[in-house]
Amino acid sequence: MPTSDFVTFSKLPYEERLNEIVKDAGLTEEEKAVLQDANSLSMAKADKMIDNVIGRYTLPIGMAVGLRVNGKVHNVPMVTEEPSVVLGCSYGGYMAEPKGGFFTSTTGSVMIAQIMLLNVPCPENAKAKVLEHEAEIKELCDSLDPVLVRFGGGMVGLDVRTVPSSKGAMVIVHLKVDTRDAMGANAVNTMAEGVAPLIEKITGGEAYTRILSNLAVHRLVRSRATIVKEMLGGESTVDRICATAEFAEVDPFRAATHNKGIMNAITPIVIATGNDFRAVESGCHSYAAYGGQYTSLTHFEKNADGDLECSIETPMAVGTVGGVIKSHPMAGINLKIMGVETAEELASVIVSAGLSLELSALRSLATDGMQKGFLAGQARSLAEQVGAEGELYEKIVAKMIADKKVSLEYAQELFAQMK
């Protein structure tokens, strides 16, 4: 669906929206039925997913449409309860469109598994010895996941550090593992546990913690877009957006909210595609603090033409195979809707969506403020709550916004007057 259609799409009744997506993604009738059915995750399946299940909790799937990433247009499913997120994300894509949308690069799909050792007799010497044994460590790691190796993954490198602690020097080994299209938590955790006895033998120490790190610095995605100043109402808005974005770079209190705005797009897509949103959130926020002070994940600047250049860099550990992607009936369908072929492509679209939404948020913050858009969303929700439908619904929403009176009491009053 072309980016320019996002407004038209948002005005369609929901059945028509669904039909558009079904057509665009080539979904089957069965897949369409799964999307409409809140019970498509059966109680039996839910009961096997986590412990002590007593029910299921449903949320809406909204579609950010027409996000162009590396020349390809994606429709992006988002599972969220927050109004304005889906349209804000589409709107960012619309603003980026005149200069070709979003362009990305990645550092690949390499995860880190950590092994922390204590009681190592000569820590610096042990570090050198572990590095000498890289080939042997790799052979053992790869033998623990032959399927991953068959798909072109496996251990690709080793880092070792020594860090002082109250218990003496910690020797910290990082296994770097290319997990290809899987998020890879299981694969790298198995390797860390499986290789720990060998590393104990090499170092003479005792392995304590053996687990992946969510600070996935070898799984970075960078996305950038140029927004022509006309899309923003002129150069003065570009300047105001740059200043608002810089505020987040220099002030951790603002950075927390700015990055929350980015996660407003990232988390819903990570959930929609069956990925681990806590892992992704931990990765993004820890990366934002990696330089020693918590800061913004983005950078915004004005170019020589007076246009806005925006960019983001963050870890994005997501997969297109394995885990919940297999067991949740909607995850695979949402991946099909997105039209992504690999985990790297999925990660690129997710990070671009994060930038797209925060671009829209900054535009509002730097101009009218957020409340205008928020109140419109609120007015829609209140009109719905009082039972208004069709034309009456539209009238009540418009009247509440025009009168700047967005409350349940006023919605009820208007409903009584107009019905």
Helices (H) and strands (E) in the chain, counts: 18, 10
**DSSP characters over 88-117:** HHHHHHHHHGGGTSBEEEE--SEEEEEEEE
**Residue placing its CB nearer to ligand MEV in the complex, 202 or 255:** 255
Cβ neighbours of 5 (radius 10 Å): 15
Return the ∠ at Cα 333 (arms to 330 and 336), rounded to 5°.
Answer: 155
CA–CA gap between residue 154 and residue 150 (Å, rounded): 9
**Closest CA relative to residue 357, chosen from 30, 21, 117, 102:** 102
CA–CA gap between residue 127 and residue 142 (Å, rounded): 21
Q: How far is the CB of 126 from ligand MEV (least distance, A)?
A: 46
Q: How far is the CB of 115 from ligand MEV (least distance, A)?
A: 38
**Residue placing its CB nearer to ligand MEV in the complex, 88 or 332:** 88
**Residue placing its CB nearer to ligand MEV in the complex, 264 or 334:** 264
CA–CA gap between residue 316 and residue 299 (Å, rounded): 18
Residue 121 buriedness (CB in 10 A; 0-12 / 13-18 / 19+): exposed
Q: How far is the CB of 265 from ligand MEV (least distance, A)?
A: 10
**Residue placing its CB nearer to ligand MEV in the complex, 212 or 361:** 361
Q: Is 228 helix (H, G, I), strand (E, B) or coil?
A: coil
Q: How far is the CB of 260 from ligand MEV (least distance, A)?
A: 6
Q: How far is the CB of 358 from ligand MEV (least distance, A)?
A: 6
Q: How far is the CB of 93 from ligand MEV (least distance, A)?
A: 17
**Residue placing its CB nearer to ligand MEV in the complex, 138 or 258:** 258
Amino acid in the structure at residue 159: D
**Residue placing its CB nearer to ligand MEV in the complex, 370 or 408:** 370
Backbone dihedral angles phi then psi of residue 164, each to the nearest 5 degrees: -65, 145
CA–CA gap between residue 283 and residue 281 (Å, rounded): 5
Binding site for ligand MEV (CB under 6 A): 257-258, 260-261, 264, 358, 361, 365, 370
Beta-bridge partners for 210: 115
**Residue placing its CB nearer to ligand MEV in the complex, 193 or 313:** 313
Q: How far is the CB of 272 from ligand MEV (least distance, A)?
A: 18
Tokens 């669904």 found at: 18
**Residue placing its CB nearer to ligand MEV in the complex, 12 or 370:** 370
Q: How far is the CB of 131 from ligand MEV (least distance, A)?
A: 43
CA distance readout (Å), 226 to 81, 86, 96, 327, 356: 30, 21, 6, 39, 11
Q: How far is the CB of 139 from ligand MEV (least distance, A)?
A: 48
**Residue placing its CB nearer to ligand MEV in the complex, 307 or 358:** 358
Q: Is 73 helix (H, G, I), strand (E, B) or coil?
A: strand
Give the strand pairing for 170-178 and 154-163: antiparallel
**Residue placing its CB nearer to ligand MEV in the complex, 265 or 272:** 265
CA–CA gap between residue 235 and residue 233 (Å, rounded): 7
Q: How far is the CB of 262 from ligand MEV (least distance, A)?
A: 8
C-beta nearest to ligand MEV: residue:
261
Q: How many CA atoms lie within 13 A of 354 on its CB side?
A: 32
